[in-house]
Chains A and B, each alone.
Chain A
């Protein structure tokens, strides 16, 4: 009986993970080993909506206004991000304190799902 219940739990858990797991944001939040599973569309969309509520300006326009026209130069983006933290130019996204530049980048992605 116990083993049968356990198998049901495992089956349900595995099924759920397959259904829902997409690794995301790990680059943004660090190279930690956390294997976060999330509904990626919902997360980016949430960030986009949050950004629009807080800032109003389209995230892509914000990035351009900051002088960021390409994301291929990671070092350049990193400098913007650390500068944001140094000047407290940050946003609270579900508790995570993030630089506005990195939130705007994620918000830009989220806009594609809106």
Chain B
């Protein structure tokens, strides 16, 4: 059943076994998985069935981060289905090493091991629309009859990504089925604003929500799960804690800290000896999904060289997009317009002159909307938009700002930086890749370190994968949730989603979010379901 919160009588009350805050990927999967175990489950969702600008703006930050971190207002979506309404559906599993305590990565290590999560990847694959046939590189290389160029490599290997086509929008795919389940009630346009926490039992006994500012509704619940997203889980937990003196998982000031994303860095180009060998690394269209290979470093190489994980897809690039002359043209233009000479003026001038055909092509395309040179569109090499694992740092954080949204909840402030040690390890990793590519006679790698200022500045991309803000941990001192995803200091408050990830790994998080949510549902069903 779906109920619009705006038409409820003022100060309505409800009772439920499980109250799920948020109807995005984690919330919908959790509800579906728990439906058979509980008589009553209520999902409180801020949005409706469709996008609404006024609701979306509840995500607006108090102030925006100054360190190139993008405004998170539109990188997530606030209606049923959540950010699956605009994701690229790119799925891959984490590696076993991603779960391990790695001495060279501060604050690494999950309180659960790989097998504990991996057993749920097949079911998670089904949810994501990519089926349960796994990501084994040998299987896919053979099945697609495409070469794995690293089958004999000592330090590199192939990873497999799969994505449903069309992309799986979780509410479109599962919403009607979930809403039709007798145990489930979805309340839309319902914004969680407060909770009632019993100091003696350590239980959340009530969740309050508002659809119209100032008019509260109450849900009495046996169990509560926050499924609001990587940023919003932290925001609301911080907001709830203002009333309870940080007893909801925040005694050690960990809520909102260790915030991570996946920086996407266009820092390398691959010039292949034989470009026909890389078909596994181009999109292969199957009936209802695509399969794509990517490069990655082997786990033993990561460990031996003390590196963070990276994911390296290959993107065909034309002479036009690879042109040094166009890059130098922009640098020269920016500097000269400020009355300055750029560093390496001579090199930029040389690039400009020798690539003048591509500069002219760029001007023609921009000014006249037409192309001049046919060879501008010929494939020159591969660009590598590399997704890197960020070390979780305590001072990267979501915190509450001064301004409030229309429901009186303080808006977020994001403090985020990419640390120098992550950048250094990244270049080390790429140098290893370059050596291995040469050793296997595959071609040559060009590192774009001379463009570092722009690569780590205005050209830095992001996966918009918000992680780590309610991190899982063995002990309260270092985290917010325990190995079961239960908030420390409470007995019935859980968190689901990528905010519980202690480290982010090298792949998009949604497959793991779903697998972890299935795991959580099994735990909750086992421990809390009665009759």
Q: Which chain B residues (352-378) contact chain A, with CB distance < 8 Å?
A: 353-357, 360-361, 363-364, 367-368, 370, 372-373, 375, 378
Report A88 CB to chain B, min CB distance, Å.
5
One of B55-63, B409-417, B445-453, B485-493 contacting the partner: B445-453
Q: Out of A16, A33, A95, name the residue touching B380 (CB < 8 Å).
A: A33
Interface string of A27-71 (1 = CB under 8 A from B): 011111111011100100000000000000000000000000000
Known: A9-B360, A20-B354, A39-B350. A81 touches B438 (CB 8 A): yes
The answer to whether the Cβ of B513 comes within 8 Å of any Cβ in the partner chain is no
Report A79 CB to chain B, min CB distance, Å.
10
Do B447 and A97 have beta carbons less than 8 Å apart?
Answer: yes
The answer to whether the Cβ of B460 comes within 8 Å of any Cβ in the partner chain is no
Q: Out of B372, B379, B440, B441, name the residue touching A13 (CB < 8 Å).
A: B372
Contacts of B271 in A (CB 8 A): 29-30, 32, 34
Known: A13-B372, A97-B435. A92 touches B447 (CB 8 A): yes
Q: Which chain B residues (257-278) contact chain A, with CB distance < 8 Å?
A: 271-275
Separation of A44 and B273 alpha carbons in the complex (Å):
21
Report B127 CB to chain A, min CB distance, Å.
40
- Which residue of chain A is the closest to B367 with respect to CB atoms? A5
Do B274 and A34 have beta carbons less than 8 Å apart?
Answer: no
Q: Which chain A residues (76-112) contact chain B, with CB distance < 8 Å?
A: 78, 81-82, 84-86, 88, 90, 92, 94-99
Q: Out of B353, B436, B444, name the residue touching A98 (CB < 8 Å).
A: B444
Report B13 CB to chain A, min CB distance, Å.
65
Separation of A14 and B361 alpha carbons in the complex (Å):
11
Do A82 and B380 have beta carbons less than 8 Å apart?
Answer: no
Known: A34-B380, A88-B435, A90-B434. A29 touches B443 (CB 8 A): yes
Known: A9-B360, A10-B360, A34-B319. A85 touches B447 (CB 8 A): no
Known: A20-B353, A97-B431. A32 touches B381 (CB 8 A): yes
Separation of A100 and B361 alpha carbons in the complex (Å):
36
Do A32 and B364 have beta carbons less than 8 Å apart?
Answer: no
- Which residue of chain A is the closest to B325 with respect to CB atoms? A37
Residue from A31, A32, A39, A96 with most neighbouring chain B CB atoms (10 Å): A32
Do A6 and B370 have beta carbons less than 8 Å apart?
Answer: yes
Contacts of A78 in B (CB 8 A): 441
Do B363 and A9 have beta carbons less than 8 Å apart?
Answer: yes
The answer to whether the Cβ of B418 comes within 8 Å of any Cβ in the partner chain is no
Report A35 CB to chain B, min CB distance, Å.
5
Report B229 CB to chain A, min CB distance, Å.
38
Do A37 and B354 have beta carbons less than 8 Å apart?
Answer: yes
Contacts of B379 in A (CB 8 A): 32-33
Do B438 and A99 have beta carbons less than 8 Å apart?
Answer: yes
The answer to whether the Cβ of B439 comes within 8 Å of any Cβ in the partner chain is yes
Residues on A lying within 8 angstroms of B by beta carbon are 2, 5-6, 9-10, 12-14, 16-17, 20-21, 28-35, 37-39, 42, 78, 81-82, 84-86, 88, 90, 92, 94-99
Q: List 29 A-B contacts (CB under 8 A).
A: A2-B368, A5-B367, A13-B360, A16-B353, A16-B357, A17-B356, A20-B353, A29-B444, A30-B273, A31-B274, A32-B381, A34-B319, A34-B381, A35-B375, A39-B354, A78-B441, A81-B438, A82-B438, A85-B435, A85-B436, A85-B437, A85-B439, A90-B434, A94-B446, A95-B446, A96-B444, A97-B431, A97-B434, A97-B445
The 5 tightest CB contacts between A and B, nearest first, are A85-B438, A97-B434, A13-B360, A34-B380, A85-B439
Given A9-B364, A31-B273, A35-B375, 7 more A-B residue pairs with CB atoms under 8 Å apart are: A9-B363, A9-B372, A33-B380, A35-B378, A82-B439, A85-B435, A97-B438
